[in-house]
Chain A
């Protein structure tokens, strides 16, 4: 049974349709990359999957419809990392990550909870600033804190909304490699919205390409990432190279039929 299953998921903000009939399944151990231009519905889809929004259609977590699950139950199954680390409280890094234990703990913090937090901090390499205030960290450090919080949540499904957007090159690779490794070792299902096609191609087992709220393609990176697909999705001309079996997209220029080109 797939760990995560979306069936005909659609969503509208008031009368604006932002997701239309999105379906896919994801097994334990897999990383799914959501790619697509700005405004294509990636964030909305991630929110629907974590039931932060109530979509039409069904989302099944480990075979159970989220509509029949309580919020804490969902939170024990799915961890969510928001975009750009919206952290407003002045909690310490340790406490922020400890928040990931919220669905598991009653009131007091057990040794096991603290151990999970320490492990998550260690995995993300942020143990050194455990006692610093999270809101005073750099964007990249904060993003790592949020990923650590999601790990501390001990959920089998991770939803990440652009987990690498605030990171530098090295940190991007590290975080994505970590997610891929965790998926494999801990049998997690990971869904990550990613703008960087090459990063997605390298670390995701499969991609789901969204445009205007619809699925334009799904499959392995090498089967999906063609210059025709890149043109169709982003309206740019690109060359696809092969880097040891992984497609590598080199963007060249906006497509001829693009409005921007006409204006220029």
Chain B
């Protein structure tokens, strides 16, 4: 008899993964469909969709007078649509970056936060806001600084890891050290800054999709389109790295180069998102964990599925943030933290002492 050990189960697992990803896409589309109808302008659901069509095919749709008067097309295209798509892109990117970091570092707590990348971005933004200092000027001052500092932190972690040997523990320790350093600098700037500037820093750090725009969405999309396919293509390397550096090496993975490449890609994706949004926490931590619990650890499906879970979470959190308190948009960073912290604690409770 030919052996068939485990092949049937593996095929079932593959089906489950496909089903999960399909389900997520459906949920995401439905959620996005709801999200574009939510807002303070009081547009009806039908009007929101007519406005989308009118924007897509100018002149082809006859707008009713009430929609012309209320500037429905301007509201939906100028405010809502890019925000919804930005939430999808940002959630997708942050989650994939988190999944990559957790895979490479083999640590369930690895994320842009625990590695200091987010606090570096905050620090860069604070320097721009409080001191007005940065490489770029005008509207790009804060964004440029946030991006630059995030990448700087990633480079510093990489540099320290190179000096001490490229272990995952070294990287995490270096990241935590940097997180404290950058937080301390940010605190110092807040202490020294004037009230209005401190307020601006605090608002930046909340993390919000209010600052989204079509050009920003374009930049994030281009980066994701460039990086994510490469990550997916190298998914087997991530699978192997998750088994340990030595095992990965013995399976033919150029460990140091791969780790550096993965960390660079994850940092780039994170930096390009949070420089526009401020710090949006927990998506990068929570989404990969949820996904792993449902469909397991094969990064070929874990990465895209985590991205979709992240997109659903962030878009969902933003919908809640926009509707939870009437008349107020709660920063989505706060909302994701509210959703994320209980899960974070749950994770701690679940961790087995191995």
A: residues with CB less than 8 A from B are 47, 50, 52, 70-76, 78-80, 82, 86-96, 98-100, 102-103, 105, 107, 114-115, 117-119, 121-122, 127-128, 130-131, 135, 153
Contact = CB atoms under 8 A, between A and B. Distances in A.
Contact of A52 (B235, B246, B292, B298): B246
Interface residues of B, number: 31
A71 B3 CA distance: 31
B296 interface: yes
B243 A87 contact: yes
B236 interface: yes
Contact of A75 (B243, B252, B298, B300): B252
Nearest to B293: A90
Contacts of A98: 10
A109 B338 CA distance: 40
Q: What 3 pairs across the A-B complex have the smallest Cβ distances?
A: A130-B6, A127-B5, A75-B252
A88 B7 CA distance: 23
Contacts of B235: 107
B3 A88 contact: no
A127 B6 contact: yes
B179 to A, nearest CB: 23
Given A99-B239, A102-B253, A131-B6, 8 more contacts: A72-B252, A78-B250, A82-B247, A87-B244, A91-B297, A94-B9, A107-B233, A121-B6
A107 B236 contact: yes
B252 A52 contact: no
Contact of B240 (A50, A99, A127): A99
B252 to A, nearest CB: 3
A152 to B, nearest CB: 11
B253 A71 contact: yes
A74 to B, nearest CB: 7
Interface string B2-33: 01111101100100000000000000000000
B252 A76 contact: yes
A71 B249 contact: yes
Given A91-B296, A114-B7, A96 B243 contact: yes
Interface string B113-135: 00000000000000000000000
B251 interface: yes
10 contacts: A75-B252, A92-B10, A95-B297, A96-B243, A99-B239, A103-B252, A107-B236, A118-B7, A122-B3, A131-B13
A103 B3 contact: no
A89 B103 CA distance: 9
B106 interface: yes
B242 interface: yes
B354 interface: yes
Contact of A118 (B5, B13, B251): B5
A131 B300 contact: no
A75 B236 contact: no
B261 interface: no
A58 B246 CA distance: 20
Contacts of B297: 89-91, 95
B243 A88 contact: yes
B254 interface: yes
B5 A102 contact: no
Contacts of B4: 118
A73 B254 CA distance: 12
A215 B300 CA distance: 45
B10 A114 contact: yes
A75 B296 contact: no
A72 B237 CA distance: 11
A52 B3 contact: no
Nearest to B238: A89
